[in-house]
Amino acid sequence: MAAETTPSPVNIATLQRMKARGEKIVCLTCYDASFARVLEDAGVDVFIVGDSLGMVLKGYESTVAVTMGDMIYHAANVARTGRHALRVVDLPFMSYATREQALGNAARLMREGGAHMVKLEGGAVVAGVVEHLTRHAIPVCGHIGLLPQSVHKLGGYRVQGRDAAGAEAVLADARALEAAGAGLLVIECVPADLGARVSATVTIPTIGIGAGPACDGQVLVLYDMLGITPGKRPRFVKDFLEQTGSVPAAIAAYVRVVRDGSFPGPEHCY
């Protein structure tokens, strides 16, 4: 009987190789130890311990009320059982307003929360912060397009980059983050053709959420793809539990269709 092989831990070099080979990266949000096991068993490559926990776990109207304490608590829960997936943890609202504040908080997410990489929202405006973090050996994931922490400034959850000027701004943000040293990039709620342009423009891997199938990988909020988030479902979300009947089967189905490129389909794109 052949010995069971243990998957190698996923790191940023793994994701770079996947991008170069055209292999899709599978990502989901994760907030606790039990789901970390289920997601890894299904073959998820990247966990995002997202500040979306403020809405799906804590019942807030937005991510703005999430604290560093919240993020460290949930990240540490995931880290206790996570063995193979790359753990990306959000810096919450107003936790990276200055370079010094960002460095201190990012260090806490890594030291106390077990993060492998931290994520922050914004493009060129936060490039200096990204450069400061990466200079101090902290891996950074950028987040462009729709920025949930800026929802009050944006006036709602709206698709970004629809016109030529908006698209160029998103592309400029992507370039600025890559130049500052970001190793991964989440693109949220932009037209599919813009998601494709960004992914072709930067050399770092891109993870789309409502950004079309041409991104190097896909992410959804775990509770959204299980169909248990109340309210109107965003266009880019598919309920995988509805047709599979169990949580492990739903996650396995998501992994399969992201890997083969059939999700997101045209009906999930802008």
> How far apart (Å, rounded) are the C-alpha atoms in residues 108 and 113?
7
Residue whose entry in the numeric block shows the structure tokens 């999700």: 263
How many Cβ atoms sit within 10 Å of the Cβ of residue 158?
A: 10
Place of tokens 């039990």: 34
| Annotation says 267 is catalytic | no
Q: What is the DSSP string of 125-142?
A: GGHHHHHHHHHTT--EEE
Helix or strand run (H / E) with residue 69: helix 68-81
Residue 10 DSSP code: P
d(CA 38, CA 119): 23
Q: Which of 23, 100, 188, 242 is catalytic?
A: 188
Cβ–Cβ under 8 Å, residues 145 and 108:
no
Measure the CA–CA gap between 202 and 184, rounded to whole angstroms.
10
Radius of gyration of the chain, Cα coordinates, nearest whole angstrom: 17
Active site residues: 188
